[in-house]
A and B are shown apart, each in its own frame.
Chain A
Amino acid sequence: MEFLLVLFDDSREVRVGDVFVGKTNVILELEAGIHRVALGPPHDFSPLDQRVRLVNTAAMDPCCISFHRLPPAAIPHSPGSPR
């Protein structure tokens, strides 16, 4: 297994596709290979998703990626929600 750390300024769900794989800011175990990683809602983060290639990680040396919180004005408007 490989290890991934997804950094965000809050505890948030981490997803691969629509599958929950853990939370931000804790070390996650995933299979070796390519994964498309995103966060759970609300969609106030950037980038929308990240493609990571997990190889040669260790529990004490995980692959680290980070998502950044968008300022309110930059949050994309979702269809049907009030402006």
Chain B
Amino acid sequence: MSRRAGLAALLLCVVAASGCAHYPVNAQLAAPSGKGGYRFPQMVADRPDPADELFVCLSFSGGGTRAAAFSHGALLRLRDIDIGRGGPPRSLLDEVDCIAGISGGAFTAAYYGLFGKAGLDTFYDRFLKRNIQAELALRVANPVNLARLASPYFSRIDLAAELYDETVFEGRTFANLPPRPFVILHATSMANGAPFEFTQAEFDFIGSDLGTFPVARAVAASSAFPFLLSPVSLRSFPPPAGYTVPDDVTDGLEERELNPGRYYWARQHLDLMNPRPKGADDPAAEKWVHLLDGGLSDNIGLRSILRAYDRTSGFVRPRISAGHIKRFVVIAINGRTDPPEPLSRRERSPGLVDVFLKTATVSMETVSFDTIEQALRRQTEREQAQTDIRKCNEALARCGASVMPELAQEIRTCFVHIDFEGLPSPLREELLNYPTTFSLEPEQLKRLGEAARTLLDTSESFQRLLRALRGEPRMGEGIGGPKENCS
């Protein structure tokens, strides 16, 4: 074969390869998923599940390998905490019912969800210690992949998803995830900036089956940092015959001024849908949902837990209303950083690159503080409502009057938030300056793990919780101290 013919054959191969390359398209739902698929286990009102009594949710923030190592350190600490009250050992980690993960935190959440406690020992080698960025760059440089990347239907994020699938998540799909802890991986819809959760309830809106969807692809979507990585695309299919939109979506749309949060949540979900054709003459239009880093809409992961608490269709609210949950605990593991800001020391206006980077990240911090405040407010409101009713009924009973109705169950609430700000100096400054990358030095990984342990062990809220779970007296009890949260 002449050299020219060889080159032509090579070019033909490249064109063929690029033409064929397409990201894997999510599967269409053949029938309404009903109450099946990857969603929190259904509740039976009159049959309390003992697993619900102490209901623990964790949220793992974004922040690349830094956030993954920090949340991994927190899981290790929870594993080592015994709340067995002198009986058989019972790890606090065994009580975790749901984990929300964003970006770097999504790796830890998904890996623990798939591989359980045994996975805690393999996560370091399998993910944390690796230079994922370099491995991805090598894959991009591979001539075969260069040809695939020439296709408009295959991009860098698809290569990243393949890398995670082959080397971290072993090709597992959502059907492989056990029902507890329920793992909620977040991304952000490019169309409207709304959070997108990889749960079957969310996939119902796009008429798709999450069960066959690779976990690695969801993690890739959650960590698709703008500009560096491209979005993950999902096809929105017309819903299967018999599908009905959940009531809190239709009810939410009826009232915008009173509850704008629910209204826009409902709108954003309807925006995901691809309406069914009205007849044979009305061909279905194709529709796609493009997803970017979950941190753009919620960099802590608390919003999905708050929705599960607020919404009638959420998995926390009905369990509280049924009196199944006695103690509701949320622990936010926030690996945010606060590096020095060089822009404020420059007289000249920031350039295009600076503006691009800031635009991609500045919203993350604002949204994060907002969700922490919301979580604290929910905790205070619930505790206040319970106290009001109890005090009122005590007063009525003293007067011999009939008492007023009560809530189904008085619950104890606990919100714990740890971040590097709680560390002593100079460790705090060091960790607050760690980069957001997918490659860290072993010493940095070690410090992040130790930081998670230290922060939990020195968190007053967390220590109050442990005393309560172990049946130990509350701190300050007997000396007239006020009853505090988490006790």
Contacts and interface: CB of A to CB of B under 8 A. Distances in A.
User: Do A and B come from the same complex?
Assistant: yes
Contact of B385 (A21, A32, A53, A59): A59
B262 A33 contact: yes
B262 A31 contact: yes
Interface of B is mostly: helix
A28 B405 CA distance: 10
A27 to B, nearest CB: 5
Contact of B258 (A25, A26, A55): A55
Contact of B405 (A26, A30, A33, A34): A26
Contact of A25 (B43, B263, B385, B405): B405
Given A19-B313, A22-B321, A59 B405 contact: no
B251 A21 contact: no
Contacts of B62: none
Nearest to A40: B45
B320 interface: yes
A29 interface: yes
B255 A16 contact: no
A6 B356 CA distance: 53
A48 interface: no
A36 B382 CA distance: 23
A20 B406 contact: no
Interface residues of A, number: 30
A13 B318 CA distance: 11
A27 B406 contact: yes
A1 interface: yes
A60 B388 contact: yes
Interface string B240-263: 000000111001101100110011
Contacts of B318: 19-22
B1 interface: no
Interface in A60-77: 60, 62
Contacts of A45: none
Given A1-B310, A16-B251, A16-B312, A21 B317 contact: yes
B311 interface: yes
A31 B408 contact: no
A33 B310 contact: no
A16 B392 CA distance: 29
B381 interface: yes
Contacts of B312: 16-17, 19, 21, 30-31, 35
Residue from B255, B310, B381, B386 with most neighbouring chain A CB atoms (10 Å): B255
20 contacts: A1-B310, A1-B378, A1-B381, A16-B248, A17-B247, A20-B45, A20-B318, A20-B322, A21-B318, A26-B406, A27-B407, A27-B408, A28-B321, A29-B385, A31-B259, A32-B255, A33-B251, A36-B247, A59-B386, A62-B405
Interface of A: 1, 3, 5, 13, 16-23, 25-36, 53, 55, 58-60, 62
Given A19-B313, A21-B321, 4 more contacts: A22-B408, A34-B255, A35-B312, A59-B389
